[in-house]
Structure 1
Amino acid sequence: MTQPLIASLVLSLSLGGAIAPFAVAQATNPEPVNIVELVRARNYARQAAERVNGGLSRYRADQSLHGPVREAPYVRNADGSYTFRILGHRVSNGVPASLPSIETVVTVAADGRTTIDYNGPIRN
């Protein structure tokens, strides 16, 4: 039996000089999840990214944060939280740029608290 392939990106976050790697799944995540919980976490993550990047007049999250929830770039963490890697577009004269230029990594705790783990240029 073949396992579904998951395209993942390993990110490294600098935390007080220590490097903490974690993976963020793209497009599919075969783990069973509570869809209502996932939708809520995705919305909190998107709103946190919008807030930290100056609001909707200056920033728009990539379409993956608006479409089907299972296609959002997330990973479910062992503690029940979700971590999202959000690519965002700068907005000029009300029009989002065609290519994303901002990467925001947001962790949403089970109780809805959000933590911005990274916000800056897109990393490779």
Structure 2
Amino acid sequence: MLLSCYGQWLGALLCLGVVPLAIAPPTLPTAMAQMRGNESMTTNIAELVRARNYARQAAERVNGGLTRYRADQSMHGPVLQAPYVRNADGSYTFRVLGYRVTNGVSASTPSLETIVTVAADGRTTVDYNGPIRN
């Protein structure tokens, strides 16, 4: 829809004999990261989604797989609502809360905490895995 409107707009200009000097291409999806203290930097959404997925998968792996563990909804929903910190080196650190699974049913409250750092190249490091800390 956006491209057809964009094309119609450009076509109308050309029909009127107006030639735009430069046409800006559509930009990649970026958004302002959540404000954390005084931090406000632009985050590439695709990069953040990838990092969140790697962090969730690492948490699932170290906690026995999907038959024994489920990550909290924050690791599946809108990416800017995920509990993360962007580090100075470009990596992301996620705090993943998780639920134990028994007989295919998730517990009603999370009991596990996994801290995962995802480097810019996709390497993951589990910094902590155990009971939820205060």
1:48 paired residue number: 58
1:36 paired residue number: 46
Is structure 2 residue 127 aligned with structure 1 residue 98?
no
1:89 paired residue number: 99
Considering fraction of residues, name the structure with more strand.
1
Structure 1 residues 57 and 114 mapped into 2: Cα distance closer, same or farther (>3 Å)?
Answer: same
Larger of the two Rg values belongs to structure: 2
String of CA shifts for 1:62-101, please: whole Å, max 9, x gaps: 0000000000000000000000000000001101101000
Question: 1:31: Cα distance to partner?
Answer: 3.1
CA distance in 2 between partners of 1:37 and 1:5 (Å):
18
CA distance in 2 between partners of 1:30 and 1:59 (Å):
33
Unpaired segments ≥5 residues, structure 2: 1-33
Aligned CA RMSD, in angstroms, stands at 1.7
Considering fraction of residues, name the structure with more helix.
2
1:108 paired residue number: 118
Structure 1 residues 30 and 63 mapped into 2: Cα distance closer, same or farther (>3 Å)?
Answer: farther
The size of the alignment, in residue pairs, is 100
String of CA shifts for 1:5-60, please: whole Å, max 9, x gaps: 75x8xxxxxxxxxxxxxxxxxxxx85320000000000000000000000000000
1:59 paired residue number: 69
2:82 paired residue number: 72
1:118 paired residue number: 128
Structure 1 residues 5 and 79 mapped into 2: Cα distance closer, same or farther (>3 Å)?
Answer: closer
Residue type matched to 2:49 in 1? V
Question: What's the TM-score once normalised by structure 1's chain length?
Answer: 0.77
Aligned-residue sequence identity (percent) comes to 78
Residue type matched to 1:110 in 2? A
Unpaired segments ≥5 residues, structure 1: 9-28
CA distance in 2 between partners of 1:70 and 1:37 (Å):
12
Question: What's the TM-score once normalised by structure 2's chain length?
Answer: 0.71
1 or 2 for the larger relative contact order (CA 8 Å, sep ≥6)? 1
